[in-house]
Amino acid sequence: MIADVRAMIWKEFHELRQGGGRGKYAPFILVLIYGVFFPLQAGRSWVDSYQMIGFGLGVSVFMVLSVVADSIAGERERHTLETLLASRLSDRSILVGKIGAVVLYGWGLTIVSLIAGLIVVNLSVGGGHLLLYPTGRAVATVVLTFLLSVLATGIGVLISLRSSTVRQAQQVLTIGWVVLIFLMVFGVQLMSPSTRLRLEHRLSTAQLATVVVIAVLVLGLLDVIVLALNAARFQRSRLILD
């Protein structure tokens, strides 16, 4: 199965590279924006503050959403899904390969952007001193961005499975992401000033390790649920009938 999954991942990355100008140059453009431009604007605070964690989480989702819509809907639109399903590859190998390729793309580019940002900050404001991310924040960012990439990919594949075109899948994913952000912001606005102050105080006094452990447990549970739904939904017979 490992060889089949590896073959699927290679196929997905090959298609990303062959996807016209956007597919070839998008990774470089994204790293230039998130790994050079934003760190230059932030300066030393890029390393000293907690913004790298929030930045990594946001970028990992964006990276995933930029390609995941094509995972199944793209095959259906190009009329290659039937050929893929007719191959000797098992359902699980195809699904794991597709999810793995998107996760590696989104999470990998996020980590590359963070490393590039660290280099840029050292060159621009380091002043001859080596600046490094705090170990705890760096580990938290790597783990949380990976888990969130898996979650975003799993949700994206579920939507792509039910979409007839890539555009339809992208629209659903984009609208869903915008609505989620709106609800989060609106929910905070609905809080009373006293409640908001208490929440800010708890977050500011909470230990990073405690917050990260809770986040890892929640994201891990959501990942398991979404991946199980993908495994139940991704079946040859159902896809052929669709």
Tens-of-pLDDT digits for all 242 residues of the chain? 788 888 888 888 888 777 644 456 778 888 888 888 888 888 888 887 777 788 888 889 988 988 898 888 888 888 888 888 888 888 889 999 999 999 999 999 999 999 999 999 998 887 778 888 888 888 999 999 999 999 999 999 999 988 888 889 989 988 888 888 788 777 767 777 777 677 666 666 667 778 889 999 999 999 999 999 999 988 877 766 55
The per-residue pLDDT for 234 is 87
* Residues 44 and 125 sit within 8 Å (Cβ to Cβ): yes
For 72-122, the DSSP string reads THHHHHTT-HHHHHTSS--HHHHHHHHHHHHHHHHHHHHHHHHHHHHHHHH
C-alpha angle 15/20/22, rounded to 5°?
100
Number of independent structural domains in the chain: 1
For residue 187, the tally of other CB atoms under 10 A from its CB is: 9
The per-residue pLDDT for 23 is 56
Structure tokens at 150: 């898996």
> How far apart are the C-alpha atoms of 170 and 141, rounded to whole Å?
26
Structure tokens at 148: 């969130």
* Residues 99 and 157 sit within 8 Å (Cβ to Cβ): yes
**Could you tell me how many helices (H) and strands (E) the chain has, helices first?**
13, 0
| Closest CA relative to residue 71, chosen from 228, 224, 234 | 234
Domain extent for 230: 2-241
Structure tokens at 210: 């405690």
> How far apart are the C-alpha atoms of 100 and 230, rounded to whole Å?
13
For residue 225, the tally of other CB atoms under 10 A from its CB is: 12
> How far apart are the C-alpha atoms of 84 and 66, rounded to whole Å?
22
